[in-house]
A = this chain, B = another copy of it.
Amino acid sequence: MSNSKLYKGSLNTIILKLLNEHDRMYGYEITQKVKAITKGELNITEGALYPALHKLEAEGLLDAEVVKADNRLRKYYKLTDTGSKETVNKLQELADYIKTMQTLINPNLV
């Protein structure tokens, strides 16, 4: 995913957030979007992304639809209703985690 191990555990949140903004996306598109937004800082590996998408689909948070474009197959994913609700939870969890870590590394500010 990147040189820092800290990103472990954040992949699902990233996927859900992107799908919350963009209605529907396919896997490769997600990797490119993340790379663009983070200016190359974060590169999602395929070995991490595809299993994560399959799991989210199996859990009922995503729906998938295969579409043919430019003679190539794309598997588009979109949030289910459950997925939308879970996105809110994940984002709150991330915000809480960041807050906790900032408390720990910068106790003077508390």
Closest residue of chain B to A20 (Cβ to Cβ) is B105
> In the complex, which of the residues A13, A38, A101, A107 has the most CB atoms of chain B within 10 Å of its own CB atom?
A101
Complex-state Cα separation, A42 to B21, whole angstroms: 30
Chain B nearest CB: distance from A91 CB in Å?
6
Copies of the protein in its oligomer: 2
Q: Kindly state whether residue A6 has any CB partner on chain B within 8 Å.
A: yes
Closest residue of chain B to A34 (Cβ to Cβ) is B104
Closest residue of chain B to A38 (Cβ to Cβ) is B100
- Find chain B residues with CB under 8 A from A4 CB: 9, 93, 96-97, 100
Interface string of A53-67 (1 = CB under 8 A from B): 000000000000000
Contact A5 B9 (CB under 8 A): yes
Q: 7 A-B contacts, Cβ less than 8 Å apart?
A: A6-B94, A6-B97, A34-B104, A91-B105, A94-B101, A95-B105, A98-B98
Closest A-B pairs by Cβ, 4 of them: A5-B9, A8-B8, A6-B97, A6-B9
